[in-house]
Homo-oligomer: A and B are copies of this chain.
Amino acid sequence: MAERELMYREALREAIDEEMGLNPSVFIIGEGIAERGGSYKVTEGLLAKYGPKRVRDTPIAEAGMIGVGVGAAIAGARPIVEILYVDFAMLGMDMIVNQAAKFRLMTGGDGRVPFIMRTQGGTGGGVAAQHSQSLEALFYHIPGLRVVMPSTPADAKGLLKYALRQDDPVMFLEHKHLYMTKGMVPDGEHIVEFGKGDIKRVGTDVTVIAWSNMIPRTLEAAEELARQGISVEVIDPRTLVPLDREMIVNSVLKTRRCVIVQEANRRGGVASDIASIVQEECFYEMDAPVEIVAGMDIPVPFNLTLEKASVPQKDDVVAAVRRSLHLDPFAEAAE
């Protein structure tokens, strides 16, 4: 199929635009998303095209925005609520955890909540502890939520379109560093189903699992490792919930080694959960423990050098892969 190069943010915009065109009950609200086109320019042009009923600016009221989004979804619309930073989603946690995630069960299965929270996380350029978090683990733990973390423009578009057609609450987590990155996106209707991982690079020696902004970094590491004669398979689950366990397990059964890379801090992160699954499913076939490369267990500092030190870099991934191959036995584990 034909394809074009798009920026991540353009791909997101295309998804919203196409689905708004198809379904009149899709609408979007957020701070500065209408007239100004949004802080990340994802929603530029949508106000002009779809009008102020379907593209609305809001006051600074995250709990309210998320809450009315959930209510609108329950009542049959398909709201997208843009939250500027995933950190601010903490203000709306009650609505996410206690309402959106619970409603289907509490109604015995009849109620559906096709609510989408689009937001972004991760470190980037000294925005400090309250604007740099990677909080996917909090949503990942709550049954009922879908957790989506696209790493490429094509995935961003395909997953957002899918999100707008399914019926469960979706935490759609973008990354501040990815908005301006470019990639090929198929022309025409392009949809990526939830629960299908993507092998971003085929390899045979070690399986590396990563997502969001850790994918480009991991691919760089894989490139460097290839030069060292090590063949790395890079898996991007794309959706953390549902998780493509099959793809992960099959790859690890093949490589007998597994490294997981996450930007979020180590303790209680999604990487730990995936590690627990891998060791459960592949224990007898593995040649080394699962290695986790993750952020330090500390809030992200403002200082740029420290910020960088607090989250995984390419070299950390390279070192972990080598450790899992029992190379450099006397090198210390990097934090």
Give A residues with C-beta under 8 Å from B. Answer: 63, 87-88, 90-91, 93-94, 96-98, 101-102, 105-106, 128-130, 133, 135, 137-138, 140-141, 143-144, 241, 264-265, 267-273, 275-277, 279-280, 283-284, 286, 288-292, 296-299, 301
Give complex CA distance A260, B260 in Å.
22
25 contacts between A and B (CB under 8 A): A87-B98, A91-B94, A93-B93, A93-B94, A98-B129, A98-B130, A105-B301, A137-B141, A138-B141, A143-B296, A268-B272, A271-B276, A272-B275, A272-B277, A273-B273, A275-B279, A275-B280, A276-B276, A276-B279, A276-B292, A279-B279, A279-B290, A280-B289, A280-B292, A284-B289
Q: Which residues of chain B are within 8 angstroms of A265 by Cβ–Cβ distance? A: 141, 143
Q: How far is the CB of A286 from chain B (nearest CB, A)?
A: 8
* Minimum CB–CB distance for A211 against chain B, Å: 14
A270 close to B268 (CB less than 8 A): yes
User: A268 to B140, Cβ gap below 8 A?
Assistant: yes
A289 touches B279 (CB 8 A): yes
* Number of identical monomers bound together in the oligomeric complex: 2
CB distance from A325 to the nearest CB of B (A): 14
A137 to B75, CA, bound (A): 31
In whole angstroms, what is the CA distance A216 to B101 when docked? 30
- Which residues in B have their C-beta under 8 angstroms from that of A301? 105
A268 surroundings in chain B (CB, below 8 A)? 137, 140-141, 268, 270, 272-273
- In contact, B105 and A97 (Cβ under 8 angstroms): no
Q: How far is the CA of A299 from the CA of B130 in the complex (A)?
A: 29
A106 CB to closest chain B CB (Å) equals 5
